[in-house]
A and B are shown apart, each in its own frame.
Chain A
Amino acid sequence: MSIQVTEAEWKIMEVLWDHAPRTMTEITAVLSPTTGWTRHTVITLLKRMVEKGTISVDDSDRAKKYTPLVTREEASTEETHKFLSHIFKGKASLLVNQLVDSGDLTADDLQQILDVMRKK
């Protein structure tokens, strides 16, 4: 299944990956200083993410709690695939060449890229 996480939703996922489950109020408190988002914005995004299946909601308590359903690795893999097909027309080798040429590639980086390519 394709994981669709927008740039704004990614910020919420980051908060949840750091610590979950969290309530809407807690998430807003973390994000508002840097993004300026209101409670309404966070509520709307959480609702969409629940519908998409990227997070789950536990409404057994008075305050709903949200938990991520995809891991950071799974979401990162999906984004990398998108990046590859967007910039390098799906060819991971081109990305590797680019990174090697620019001298930005470490051993760990290379291993991660190879993992992505295997999963693809």
Chain B
Amino acid sequence: MRSAYLYNFLIEANIMAVIAILLMIPLRRFFRKTLGNSALCFGWLLIAIRLLLPLSLVNPLIHEIRSPFAADAGIRPIAGQIKVRVGDVVEGISDMFWKSENRPAYDAVQRLTIDMENANVSIALAKIWLVGVLLVAAWFLFSNIHFRMRLRADRIEPISGDLLEQYETVCRQRGVKHPLPVYFTDPLPSACLVGVFRPYIALPLSAAPQDAIQVLTHEICHYKNLDHLWGILRLVCCMLHWFNPLVWMAASMSRTDCELRCDSSVTHSMSPEDRKSYASVLVLAASKRNAPGVGVLATGMTMTGKRLKTRILSVVEQHEPLHALSIAFILLASMCLLGAFATSETREQLMDIGWPMPAEHYLTEGIQGQTSIRSEEEATEYAEKLWHTLTGSEPQYDLQVIHNDDMSWYADCADESGQLRFSTSFLANGVVCSLNLFTPEEALLEGAEIIDSQFMDPAEMNLIRKWAAEQMETLNPGSSRLVSEFQLLLMRDTGHTRFVSLHADPKDSHYDCGITLFLQITSEGYRLLEMSLVGNG
């Protein structure tokens, strides 16, 4: 997988999530009562979805804000834009060092430029990201194992008697068909719902009997709201985006909102006196710290400081949210989530750019296309023109055109016996990537009397070079400035005719590519049989 795809996902997800998280902060502060805790929790879920899904939907408008840099469609999303701009800055720094004749600094920046071009820098950063993911994952794993082992060691016994009967009644009322196991545990600062696949409730042994059922009702609400699964989503978000402190903050804030949502559910039909009693339980729990941290897959009633105050007020001053506003918020947030995923260009927009085949990155980006081919008819017409360029005549056979997935075109034609006579591939902007003209004389190459040679008369070589350069300028204008002189690879003499293979290296030696020609020397002159832009950038 190219590191560009990872960067596109991480950068886009974090930009969108940061905007959403910053919007959630004032919403929680000023609109909690009107929106309700459930709507806020839904908002956090949408942010988590954006952070976790590497999805990119088509957006016809993205083209308006995306510059024409980076013709490589793989990096055209934000990673490519950043890469181009960082490249510009590095080039500016390089020029500055050159002008100030600071050779060591200039050389260092040049090495950095080469590493950036060869993706060494991006690969190194990707490895650093991966190490971070693994370290955070290891920390989460250790924290959870340690917490679970401690709970297991401190377990006393399952609840029984009156408390068990009351608990089972609450489970039935709340729609929990199979009551979760509940274990008295000591010491335990506050009750918690523990585990994901086989959850259970740990109840402090020191909980007063009259408070225990309220506490258990709270934990049942967590279970009904799937908060034990929510915990895993939070962990994965923090793992993947460990470098973003706002994601960690969001995980903590979403946890608070989940607690408040459960408080609302528990106290919904309570009398004011009962709500105050419940609030007392929260305050008592607050006097004991050591609640499970954000890395632990367990709920916890303990909150202190400002959050405790918010919680107490929320419980005591029970407010019904405005349902219409909550629904409007949920709908609007869902639409925003869709928009947050819409970061890809349409196929037509990519065709305008002339999205090149990856293998010819250097050459095809450097060669300016002369046209815009958007339909099969236009592609057929173009292929016919190429045939005419090679043969000087109109096509003798019908051309078949195929539009490839990478937006390039392929055309060929066969004779009556099905033998391939001509084939070509070209981009949407007209850059010709390959040409093949199959002639009967090529059958002579299978004969036994062929003389191969890597030497040619210099004068004739110069003529062929000049001719080859002209052919290339006809097919791909501007290609000659990207490659060096054509060199002889092989000449094959069949006795009746000669075939010559030529290759031109790119002028920029960082790229392993070039142009290869195969031509026939006839009595009338030279005949191009094959041309291809080869190698990779």
Contacts and interface: CB of A to CB of B under 8 A. Distances in A.
A68 B317 CA distance: 46
Contacts of B184: 41
A4 to B, nearest CB: 9
A28 B63 CA distance: 76
Main secondary structure on chain B at its contact with chain A? mixed
B168 to A, nearest CB: 16
A37 B156 CA distance: 10
Interface in B458-498: none
B205 interface: yes
Contacts of B187: 6-8
A11 B206 CA distance: 9
A34 B206 CA distance: 11
Given A8-B187, A41-B156, A36 B163 contact: yes
Given A36-B162, A36-B163, A41-B184, A8 B206 contact: yes
Contacts of B289: 86
B186 to A, nearest CB: 4
A33 to B, nearest CB: 10
A86 B184 CA distance: 25
Contact of A45 (B162, B163, B186, B209): B186
A45 B209 CA distance: 18
A49 to B, nearest CB: 11
Nearest to B189: A7
Contact of B156 (A7, A44, A86): A44
A61 to B, nearest CB: 26
Contacts of B396: none
Contact of B157 (A6, A8, A11, A40): A40
Given A6-B206, A8-B205, A86-B289, A38 B186 contact: no
B209 A36 contact: yes
Interface residues of A, number: 15
Interface in B343-397: none
A6 B206 CA distance: 9
B439 interface: no
Nearest to B160: A38
Given A8-B187, A36-B161, A45 B156 contact: yes
Contacts of B156: 40-41, 44-45
Interface string B163-194: 10000000000000000000010110000000
Nearest to A83: B287
B267 to A, nearest CB: 23
Contacts of B161: 36, 38
Nearest to A36: B209
Contact of A41 (B162, B204, B205, B209): B205
Interface in B247-297: 289
B38 to A, nearest CB: 34
A77 B156 CA distance: 27
Nearest to A44: B156
Nearest to A7: B206
A117 B156 CA distance: 36
Contacts of B160: 38
A6 B186 contact: yes
Looking at B162, B204, B206, the one whose CB has the most chain A CB atoms below 10 A away is: B206
A9 interface: yes
Contacts of B209: 34-36
A38 B209 CA distance: 13
A41 B157 contact: yes
Contacts of B157: 38, 40-41, 44
Nearest to A4: B187
A86 B204 CA distance: 20
Contacts of A7: 186-187, 204-206
Contacts of B205: 6-8, 37, 41, 45
Interface in B204-219: 204-206, 209
Interface string A19-56: 00000000000000011111011001100000000000
Nearest to A37: B205
Contacts of B162: 36
A39 to B, nearest CB: 10
24 contacts: A6-B186, A6-B187, A6-B206, A7-B186, A7-B187, A7-B204, A7-B205, A7-B206, A8-B187, A8-B204, A8-B205, A9-B186, A11-B206, A34-B209, A36-B209, A37-B205, A38-B157, A38-B160, A40-B156, A40-B157, A41-B156, A45-B156, A45-B186, A86-B289
Interface of A: 6-9, 11, 34-38, 40-41, 44-45, 86
Interface of B: 156-157, 160-163, 184, 186-187, 204-206, 209, 289
Given A7-B186, A34-B209, 16 more contacts: A6-B205, A6-B206, A7-B187, A7-B204, A7-B206, A8-B186, A8-B187, A11-B206, A35-B209, A36-B163, A38-B157, A40-B156, A40-B157, A44-B157, A45-B186, A45-B205
